[in-house]
């Protein structure tokens, strides 16, 4: 999904647009905002944005190093590394790499970053094959771009807690968008407040074949289980892999303008889940 689309637009329309964009990418290349630099910034507590205008990468900093979530496209590898260094974290301090799902726009740079940092890469079993083979597993209505394979050093399971120094990140398997789509959560201290942060894996249909998906036959039931799971969760701050889904860049601008709590929005997660679930059901009905 391209930057600039707002969360107030119906998710059904966004899903259609995302599918069209992905189809167009096969012949026209990636959207320019995916590689447009933005100045990295602190979101809350020990969480930083180190991605581009159109693709997110998040850095979670502990007292014993940092965890990088997503790397965006292969072309952005050095840009992401410079952004990490710009917030005061040397590359050798990045100890863990994690991702939300195995698509080139989110993991394309991770093999490069893994080589440069020596960090351990953690991922779900559902996406392990795709990550280690460098291509999407699942039938789509567009031609997914390949990416550099990346070895999974450790497989994570639902409910696992990844610890690094004084940081703990919890694994939430939320399959559908990919078989191993993974959301992650952590708690941060920010200006005397404890805030629950959810790094949300994509929950849009975005070109996935929902009926007769031979490579991923349980895709529809996985989507529904994920919507039920997320509907029961709470988050003060929601940070998706496409920043426009939660207006991450715009929220930073609003905070700079004086809106102290611009990132805090407990209603965002239930809103996104309800809208995405409705869009999924519409797409599923149309596919039957």
Phi and psi at residue 33, in whole multiples of 5°?
Answer: -65, -20
* Tokens read off for 88: 């005061």
Confidence of residue 4 (pLDDT cuts 50, 70, 90): very low
Task: Copy the structure tokens of residue 90.
Answer: 């040397």
pTM: 0.90
- Rounded-to-integer distance, Cα 234 and Cα 267, Å: 9
Q: Per-domain residue ranges for the chain? A: 11-287
Residue 147 confidence (pLDDT): 97
Model confidence at 29, in pLDDT bands (50, 70, 90)? Answer: confident
Burial of residue 6 (CB within 10 Å: 0-12, 13-18, 19+) is: exposed
Distance of CA 56 to the CA centre of its chain: 7
Contact 102, 127 (CB under 8 A): yes
Condensed to tens digits (0 to 9), the pLDDT of residues 81-108 reads 999 999 999 999 999 999 999 999 999 9
Q: How far apart are CA 121 and CA 183, in angstroms?
A: 15
- The pLDDT of residue 223 is 98
Of 127 and 18, which is predicted with more confidence? Answer: 127
Which fold, 11-287? Metallo-beta-lactamase; Chain A (3.60.15)
- Banded pLDDT at 7 (limits 50, 70, 90): very low
Residue 88 makes CB contacts below 8 A (sequence gap 6+) with none
Residue-level pLDDT at 195: 98
Over 90: is that where the pLDDT of 16 sits?
no
Contact 210, 135 (CB under 8 A): no
The SS3 assignment for 45 reads coil
Q: Which two tokens stand for residue 215?
A: 């490579």
**132-155: average pLDDT:** 95
Residue 73's pLDDT is 98
Binning pLDDT at 50, 70 and 90, where does residue 13 land? Answer: very low
Burial class (CB in 10 A: 0-12, 13-18, 19+), 281: middle
Give, in order, the Cα–Cα distances in Å from 233 to each of 19, 91, 151, 238, 270.
Answer: 27, 33, 31, 11, 8
pLDDT tens sequence across 226-276: 999 999 999 999 999 999 999 999 999 999 999 999 999 999 999 999 999
Q: Name the H helices within the chain.
A: 11-28, 77-86, 104-107, 110-117, 125-133, 219-231, 248-256, 268-287
Q: Give the chain's mean pLDDT.
A: 91
């Amino acid at each position: 999904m391209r930057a600039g689309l707002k969360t107030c637009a119906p998710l059904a329309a966004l899903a259609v647009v995302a599918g069209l964009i992905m189809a167009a990418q096969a012949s026209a290349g990636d959207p320019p905002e995916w590689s447009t630099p933005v100045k990295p910034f602190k979101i809350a507590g020990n969480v930083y944005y180190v991605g581009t205008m159109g693709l997110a990468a998040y850095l979670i900093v502990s007292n014993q190093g940092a965890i990088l979530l997503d790397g965006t496209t292969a072309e952005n590898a050095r840009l992401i590394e410079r952004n990490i260094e710009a917030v005061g974290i040397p590359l050798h301090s990045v100890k863990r790499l994690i991702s939300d799902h195995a698509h080139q726009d989110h993991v394309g740079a991770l093999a490069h970053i893994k080589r440069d940092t020596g960090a351990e890469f953690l991922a779900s079993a559902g996406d392990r094959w795709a990550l280690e083979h460098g291509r999407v597993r699942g039938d789509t209505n567009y031609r997914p771009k390949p990416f550099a394979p990346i070895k999974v050093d450790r497989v994570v399971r639902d409910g696992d807690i990844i610890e690094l120094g004084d940081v703990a990140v919890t694994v939430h398997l939320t399959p559908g968008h990919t078989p191993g789509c993974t959301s992650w959560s952590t708690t941060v201290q920010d200006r005397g407040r404890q805030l629950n942060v959810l790094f949300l894996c994509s929950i849009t249909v975005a070109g996935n074949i929902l009926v007769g998906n031979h490579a991923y036959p349980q895709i529809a039931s996985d989507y529904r289980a994920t919507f039920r799971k997320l509907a029961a969760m709470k988050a003060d701050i929601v940070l998706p892999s496409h920043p426009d889904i939660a207006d991450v860049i715009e929220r930073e601008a609003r905070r700079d303008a004086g809106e102290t709590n611009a990132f805090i929005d407990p209603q965002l997660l239930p809103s996104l889940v309800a809208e995405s679930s409705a869009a999924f059901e519409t797409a599923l009905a149309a596919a039957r």
